[in-house]
Amino acid sequence: MTDHLSETEVSLFRERTIEPAERERIDSHVRECESCLRRILPSEDTALVYSELTEALLPRSTDEPFHLSHADVRAYADGSIDQADSVIFESHLEFCDQCSEALESLVANPLVESAGSLTRQAEIPAPQFSPAWSAAFRFTPARAVAGVLVVASLVLALVVWQRWPGGAVDQTAQKTGSQTPSDTPGTGSPTPVQTETKDPTTDQPAVVASLEDNGRKIHLDSKGTLVGLDELPEVSRALVRSVLVNKSLSKPEVLDKLTAPAITLMDPTARENTFGLLGPSGTVIAKDRPNLRWQTLAGATSYTVSVFDADFNLVTRSTPITATQWTTPPLRRGMIYSWEVVAVKDGQEVRSPVAPAPRAQFKILEAERLLELTKLKEQKPISRLALGLTYARFGLLAEAEGQLRILGRENPNSPVAAKLLRTVQDWRNR
């Protein structure tokens, strides 16, 4: 079994922003890997399909009980029904005592049944016309059940087809050469449909975005073709492509979780003689042993640092130290932590952060995302654009700002480069 799909691959596959070749590779993987298939098809999809089938096939409490008609029973006994109706009738007779008894009575007393049939037929007025082919379209309860099953199957197929990534919408887009209006990573909003335009002087698709990237030219044309990053993984090129199309970034959800609301101030004097924490706070960090830093409190004789998990359980604590920074022991990846510092001044404890400031929180980057970043940094030359956008997507704000600042210096007249840098800086300042 190959390695499991990364979170980025799962996200891009579900958002329909991955190219056909890469999608086929993931299709092949999930056919053998149930774990990755469950990640791509979350529980709400299964619930929806189950709901559609239940509503279509199971009877409601107000429905009338279904039984075979007298004509159906007689036709079944005579063997004058087609194979499809025969399968349905036999299935019904297995659990319906009333219809089974009617069939047994008919088989046991065919003469009595025939006389009764003649009497009933005399009471029924003859139809005005009866073409030979009309029997093929005659409505019967059995055919009604078959019709419900067919409709339910079509509904199920339609639901799965529409909700499965890379379905009919993607194929239509491939045929027309346009971008599908779907949510794309790094944007949070539908991708605008790209109409194909050409440069009238060269008869080639027009360039919609162009940037210098560590000594090479990156551009995206009106057909969605990205040129200049061919050596990068498809997930990285898809991220760059979507950002260049929308010319914007969306804030990762994890940053909102790390920016807690301000604490209600109970004691107005609590802010006196306090000091601030320098970081990390409100961001994701790549190292599993973060270096925690804080301001000096004049007159303090020692500092003690405490780290807590998301449930406010103490994870680790330093001994009293005189320095204004402390590196923690290894912490678990993928977890959110908060921290505080208690200074001792004149024999009294002074705590930071203190209300109304929010808690100082950070998250340790997941191992699989760290591996994705490591592979990007091994590329020669490094793509400042792809690396900066990936840092931003994962919530590593300081690293993202550093890469996008270099990209901005390479593209001093590019509004796209300036906007990307400004967006990340705004996230850091909030």
Rounded percentage of the chain residues whose pLDDT exceeds 70: 65
Residue of 340, 362, 353, 333 lying closest to 254 (CA atoms) = 362
**CA–CA gap between residue 169 and residue 161 (Å, rounded):** 10
Q: What is the mean pLDDT of the chain?
A: 75
Question: What end-to-end distance do the CA atoms of the chain give, in Å?
Answer: 44
User: Can you tell me the mean pLDDT for 280-284?
Assistant: 92
Task: State the number of CA atoms in the 13 A half-sphere of 356 facing the CB.
Answer: 6
| Of the listed ranges 122-126, 156-160, 271-275, the one predicted with least confidence | 122-126
User: Can you tell me the mean pLDDT for 321-340?
Assistant: 96
Partners of 190 in beta bridges: 183
Residue 348: its H or E element: strand 348-352
Q: Strands (DSSP E) along 86-143, which ranges?
A: none
Task: State the number of CA atoms in the 13 A half-sphere of 324 facing the CB.
Answer: 12
Count of Cβ atoms closer than 10 Å to residue 130 Cβ: 9
* Predicted confidence (pLDDT) per residue in 410-421, tens digit: 999 999 999 999
pTM of the model: 0.52
Q: Is the pLDDT of residue 333 over 90?
A: yes
**CA–CA gap between residue 247 and residue 239 (Å, rounded):** 12
Burial code (b: 16+ CB inside 10 Å, e: under 16) for 283-302 equals bbbbebebebebeebeebee
Report CA Rg, the chain.
Answer: 34
Length of the chain: 430
* Predicted confidence (pLDDT) per residue in 51-63, tens digit: 544 554 555 544 4
| Of the listed ranges 30-34, 112-116, 410-414, the one predicted with least confidence | 112-116
Partners of 210 in beta bridges: 219
Cα–Cα distances in angstroms (integers) from residue 149 to residues 60, 80, 152, 382, in the given order: 16, 23, 5, 57
Residue with more model confidence, 371 or 175:
371
Structure tokens at 46: 């299964």
- Write the secondary structure of 341-365 as one string of H (helix), E (strand) and C (coil): EEEEECCEEEEECCCCCCCEEEEEC
Within its chain, how far is the Cα of 235 from the centroid?
A: 15
pLDDT-based confidence at 221, cuts 50/70/90? confident
Is residue 387 within 8 Å of residue 420, measured between CB atoms? no
Task: State the number of CA atoms in the 13 A half-sphere of 129 facing the CB.
Answer: 3
Secondary structure of residue 209 in the 3-state scheme: strand
Dihedral sign (CA 250, 256, 258, 262): positive
DSSP structure class, residue 218: E
User: Can you tell me the mean pLDDT for 65-84?
Assistant: 75
Q: Where on the phi/psi map is residue 223: left (φ > 0), alpha (ψ -120 to 50), or beta?
A: alpha
Residue with more model confidence, 157 or 342:
342
Q: Are strands 360-364 and 283-285 parallel, antiparallel or unpaired?
A: parallel
Residue of 186, 185, 193 lying closest to 165 (CA atoms) = 185
Structural domains in the chain? 256-364 (2.60.40.10)
Is residue 64 within 8 Å of residue 33, measured between CB atoms? no
Partners of 360 in beta bridges: 339
Phi, psi of 343, rounded to the nearest 5 degrees: -95, 150
Q: Is the pLDDT of residue 358 over 90?
A: no
Count of Cβ atoms closer than 10 Å to residue 83 Cβ: 7
